[in-house]
Amino acid sequence: MTGALLVAGTTSDAGKSILTAGICRWLHRNGVRVAPFKSQNMSNNSAVVLTADGRGGELGRAQAMQAAACGIAPDLRFNPVLLKPGSDRSSQVVLLGEAVDTVTAGNYRTLRPRLAETAFAAFSELRSEYDVLICEGAGSPTEINLRDGDFVNMGLARRFGLPTVVVGDIDRGGVFAAFFGTLALLAPEDQELVAGFVINKFRGDLGLLRPGLDMITAATGRPVHGVLPFHLDVWLDAEDSLAYGRILGRPGAPRGTEWLRVAVIRLPRISNATDAEALAAEPGVQVRLTIEPGEIADADLVVLPGSKATVSDLAWLRETGLADAIRGHAAAGRPLLGICGGFQMLAETIHDEVESGHGTVPGLGLLPVGITFAARKTLSRPVGSGLGAPVRGYEIHHGYVSAGAPDPLLRYQDGRPEGAVAGNVYGTHWHGAFESDGFRRRFLTEVARQAGRHGFTVAPDTRFAAVRERALDVLGDLVEENLDTGALWRLLEKGAPPGLPFIPPGAP
């Protein structure tokens, strides 16, 4: 088989990422050499890839997850353009893994031709190396104000003649109107490539839904290729932290007599919130994302996650009263963990002329370190140890420890210290450290002791890598059991069928 397919969506978070991963997993299990592709991603959840020359580069974490579904290592070409929002008006541009610029809505149009050229070249290279590419769109293909110059949705599909399926989230309501409106606002040449629909997150009696499937097919001339049911085990590797609910994951019953309650601060520019997923995979560990000071008071462990805007998110903590709640939690002797940007916020001082340009600002003063921002971003995949257990992680940060010699939380393989520990307060720049099972178990055992949760017992058999593999297999199963996979094969082999009807009015 050779071919490619674009998975578009009626909205952001409609299910494009998981449907792409599920199709990738299904094809991989059928012996197809398949790879994911997303021309441009806007997300602060990223993964680090080491290139052949040892250089670190970033791509969207969703594409790293989709690569795992394909049984292959992530490649920077899978997501050639990554936009990392630092505010409501500007984003850092990461091109083939390297930060090259900062753009606003105003100057993005100037840079877009270069980004499109890079994305199209990456697609062409990958198409020559793999049997199939499953491409993920961004947002909606009918962002009519952005269609000119588009290279991630129908612009990509038109360039390479890709058949397109549109996925919609029925849990939000209005899915049939969203399907019809998406199609009806596309230009005739775009509509020719839209070959069908997929419904996501359905709960209930499929028999009651079936008349609607028949009616949308009659109205558009395009079939619904399947209905994916809502599934509780589909929650790992979210592209955006807003995709999470208030409770992260589906916590299993505790092995001991008590739960361990974890509160993760949902920062305005939160990045790599996926760090908390490894904690949420543990039985008896309830992980809640929150912006409420009262919920911090009720937590055993508070986590300050990464941030794309450390100084401004720290100011937000102070404005909302969360900073005082965090200090009160630590003063009570209960454990507090900062990861990357969250670690930097716990410092005594932060000197930042790079990200915010605010110079020296006071941190929360809970760890005896000073942080300085360097112009060059650290991108690496370190290996080392912590709490007597082996640890692997990845680093994505401008800030570094420039003052203080604290007790380290981790050590690099060569013995260099990393992070800090001051009693019940912990900090590290390493993302992904808690995916190392032995380290996670020892950390949770220690914080449960500090929190007074003596009835909490860590599970000895949780393997986070196996949890992630099971989740990918669930996605593959959902595709195989609920979609018309024969129709997907035909789209990949032959493209969109000819003669699909035009639905007026078309693009304005």
Which amino acids are annotated catalytic? 340, 431
Q: Are 231 and 269 in contact (CB under 8 A)?
A: no
291: alpha, beta or left? (left if phi > 0; alpha if psi -120 to 50) = alpha
Contacts of 331 (CB under 8 A, 6+ apart): none
In angstroms, rounded to a whole number, what is the distance separating the alpha carbons of residues 261 and 270? 20
d(CA 308, CA 311): 9
Evaluate the CA torsion angle 36, 75, 277, 93 in order and state its sign: negative
**Peptide bond before residue 223 is cis, with ω within 30 degrees of 0:** no
Distance set, CA 353 to CA 47, 311, 350, 379 (Å): 25, 11, 10, 19
CB 127 within 8 A of CB 157: no
Locate 418 and state its tokens. Answer: 């990393």
- Distance in angstroms (rounded) separating the CA atoms of residues 103 and 85: 9
Pair of tokens at residue 199: 């419904």
- What is the phi/psi pair of residue 364, to 5°? -75, -15
